[in-house]
Every structure is written in structure tokens, then in C-alpha cells.
Amino acid sequence: MAKEMVILGHGYSAGYLTPLLRAQGWRVTGTTRGRMAQVAAAGADPLMWPGDETEIADRLTRADAILISAAPGPDGDPVLAAFDGAMRRARPDWLGYLSTTGVYGDQAGGWVDEDTPPAPATERGKARVQAEAAWRLLAEQAGLPLHVFRLAGIYGPGRGPFAKLRAGTARRIVKPGQVFSRIHAEDIAQVLLASIQQPEPGAVYNVCDDDPAAPQDVLAYAARLLDLPEPPAVALAEADMSRMARSFYAESKRVSNARIKRDLGITLRYPDYRSGLAAIRQAEQRLPQGA
């Protein structure tokens, strides 16, 4: 009998995990607010949320694995608000929660690992810390095998600097000393699959590549791949940016990925932004004209 995975919030990253699970014979259910076709194209059985709560709750109670990929909102974690009862009845072998490295806050470019105490500086980071704590409490009360994955900046096909460079809207925002960690969506998927195959309830994993880098360096490299001129550099203090965009520059840190390598045996497909962006560009060039 096929094992069953329920993914609450089947978005970009889940689109890479689902095919891996399907290849191993899993049945995958993915909830969505409306992108039914995209969820189905990834190989999952799409359910509307809000909309199909009764069916979702039933599948949660029967699932062998559950992945929470929905972000907290102003009122807290939406999954806990909608499915607390079903989660308490569920008996999965694995429960994953996708969080963010934003929980570590600003470390002035210093290194952090999973033992670094959270110190979020943004409202988004604070909401994630609260959501992590809420899931830990539920896991303790209900005996659930919770695993927390703190994701760095996600990129991959269709999500990266190429579109803005082609449109001429990209800017190299410069803040001296600023570095971010990143992760390719394919590597997120292989980390999650490895954890599903070797559960370690209570574990926390940073999911990032080997090379924290300045955002202007990433953009400059992407421009070279497209044979386009580098966008002009703009000092952060002079940049016209939204409040949310500016908030990303409030934090600078280097995130260690040693635990996923040591405990899960991960070898990253894209250990740095150069290999990841080059692979995306090569895949684009293989597409037929007009595709």
C-alpha cells in the first residue's frame, strides 16, 4: 500500500519534493489557494484550502508524513488554527515544518548554526520563532515527530535574478559587509527526502549552500551568464525600496550547513550560487525557441 504525504501549502519548494516522493511510490496530497493545475502537474492530488477542510483533515489523520509549508500570518500559524484537532489525531512517522534562517536575526556577517539562539530582528522572523515554538508545543503534547527546517533564500528555475536582468529592472544594492545564504530548490527537496527516510524527531536543520555571498556579487554573475552589462551599483541608503525589501538588508549572517551533511549525508547539487545559476541558464538554453 502506498505511503501518503500531505503537504499543507504546496508551493514552489514542494513542487520539487513531490516528484521525488512519487518516484518512490508515495501518494501526495497538496493544498493550494487556487493553483490546482500547478499542484497536479507536480504529481500531487490538489485540495483547496480554504475550501476542502474536511477532506484535508481526514487525510492528515491517515498520513504517513506531513509537511507544513504555509507561512504564519498576523494571527499566527494558519495550519494550527485550521487543523489543530486533526493534527492531534494524526500519527505520522515524520512531520516537517519549513521555517527560515531569518530566526537568527542580524549576526553582523558572523556564522550561525542550529545551536545559535534565535534573535529575530524583523516581524517575519519573530513570527517564525513563535510558529516554531507553537509546533514544538503541539509535538510535545500530541507525541508528533517534528523536524524543523530553517531555509535560506530560495532560488531555482523561474525564481532568481534572470527575469529582472532581462527586464532591465535589476539593481545592485550595495551595503558594505552584507552577506546572505541561499539554497536551490532541488537541494531543499533532497534534504527533506533524506530526513523522511531517516527521521530524527526534534531535529532542527539549516538548509543552505556552502557560500554565503553579497547580493551584488550574485547579480553581477547572473548578468555575465546572460551577456548583459552589470546593473549600476546603488548604495542602500540611496535606494528606493519597499519596506519589506529593505528589511532583508537589516540582517547579515553566514549560515552553517554542516548538520545536513553530517546527519543526513547530503551532498549538495548546487553548493554555491555560481553552480546553481549556471545550471538554470544551461537548462534555459536547451529549451526550444519560443518555449
What the chain holds in terms of domains, given with CATH numbers, is 4-159+181-210+255-270 (3.40.50.720)
What is the average pLDDT across 177-206? Answer: 97
SS (H, E, C) the chain: CCCEEEEECCCCCHHHHHHHHHHCCCEEEEEECCCHHHHHHHCCEEEECCCCHHHHHHHHHHCCEEEECCCCECCECHHHHHHHHHHHHCCCCEEEEEEEHHHHCCCCCCEECCCCCCCCCCHHHHHHHHHHHHHHHHHHHHCCCEEEEEECEEEECCECCHHHHHHCCCCEEECCCCCECEEEHHHHHHHHHHHHHCCCCCCEEEECCCCCECHHHHHHHHHHHCCCCCCCEEEHHHCCCCHHHHHHCCCCCEECCHHHHHHHCCCCCCCCHHHHHHHHHHHHHHCCCCC
- Mean of the pLDDT values across residues 209-222? 96
8 A C-beta contact, residue 96 and residue 66: yes
| Mean pLDDT within 172-201 | 96
Q: Which pLDDT value is given to residue 77?
A: 97
Res 245: pLDDT: 79
pLDDT at 291: 41
Task: Using the predicted structure, report yes or no on whether residue 221 has a pLDDT greater than 80.
Answer: yes
The percent of residues in the chain predicted with pLDDT above 90, rounded, is 86
